[in-house]
Structure 1
Amino acid sequence: MTLTEAAPVEVPRIKHGGFADEMRSAAMKLHTREQARGGEKEAEGPEERSVAKWEPTIEGYLKFLVDSYMVFYTLEGIVHKAAHPCYAEFRNTGLERSDNLAKDLEWFKDQGQAIPEPSDPGVRYASFLEDLSEKDALAFICHFYNIYCGHSAGGQMIGKKIAEKILDKKQLEFYKWDGELPQLLQAAREKLNRVSEIKIKNALGKFTKMTLTAAAPIEVPRIKHGGFAEETRSVAMKLHTREQARGGQQEARDYSIHCN
């Protein structure tokens, strides 16, 4: 079951820019117009085109719900444990899904349905998130953003279509939130922007320390396209004298920082 099997969805636009807006822009480059309004990628294969006929099954949907439970449960455990302190910002956002999914799976069980074990891809992805969360906080936050925003957009469309086809229009708890979803998402985006800005500033700080080890005159390549690399170059130039690097901006205060 993939997003290509659902109707085009509207992905909410970000009003205030920042990291979340960059994430949305990157996501649209990976979606075709059949997958999401605003998609920029050309459909290259049948899996990227809308299907004329789609017939979901209870068994297939349960596999999807079980894997979703594992992923959301893992995400919530990671932010609760907060191996990186910034993860604590994403506790109790109102977007959490594991408790709702547990209720849905219990409902299916009461209907006499057998609940499957998580699939290998689901297990591997959950394990990947655990490892990534310890090694690279910013990369983990990217996955966090995509999972929650993907469920709030295309995920809702999938749920609605399945409810119409095989659940007699029953709305599962997976697709219910306590509060207004747009406001919950906006609050999460603001936190994401704030955390990402801090992470980038910290990375620049580390770069600053590394540049202090440079002694010989160097030619620092100019960056054509701006962005993070341009910011790091700018920081470096403020720490170098003109004797140390072309473009250096610092005045030499004593002989020890000149190059012989």
Structure 2
Amino acid sequence: HFDTLYKEGAAGQSTLTQYTRYLTIALGILQSTTLITVARSGALFGTSASTECTQLITNDAWYAIMLMVITMTAGTGVIMWMGELVTERGVGNGMSLMIFVSIAALFPGSLTAIGQQQGFDTLIIVLIVGVLVVAGVVFVEQSQRRIPVQYAKRMVGRRTYGGNNTYIPIKVNMAGVIPVIFASSLLYLPALLAQFNQPAAGQEAPAWVVWISQNLTGGDQPLYMAMYFLLIIGFTYFYVAITFNPEE
């Protein structure tokens, strides 16, 4: 069905975009419900948070919960609408730009903290590494594999046409940042599941919750890094296999 819509041109793309909007709203409802549930349990900021952070929701009536879910889902819709506006204006991929801005907004505070805690030398090293990483990402993103194409010559009357050489540009990184987003979202699920099963005060956490906390919650954990790497590779292959058909 989706392959048929993809081949229908603008009309099919419009239908796919509409499906994407519905899916986004559904995920917004799921995420808002999850956040509210975790907040009601007092584990949104961890079990070691202060009393003010564990008692965020004082009114747990059904209409209050419903209002919070609707408000958070509406915020998701507004962000989606703003991203589409940016894309329609030709500035670039709206959602990607908004994600980048949300990440870049943390740079000043993070760099200031590094300079104050680690020293000026460490800050310079971090800046140099950051510039090199950005340069490498741009280089890979702009890289193309050019497939040579040669058109056959044809005779029209006494004239010869064709015979030109050209190429088909194929991006090296066709998936972009989508596999990274999918991989990080999928790896967040075990930590979220562990948050739902946090023990009460004075009780011990289940063994599987402890295992998740020790292995699947941080970027400094070997298993987390290995799974993150494998998921990125897998999602990249899956995304390219769906969106790019070499026979076409």
Provide TM-score, normalisation by structure 2: 0.20
Task: Flag the structure with higher strand content.
Answer: 2
Provide TM-score, normalisation by structure 1: 0.20
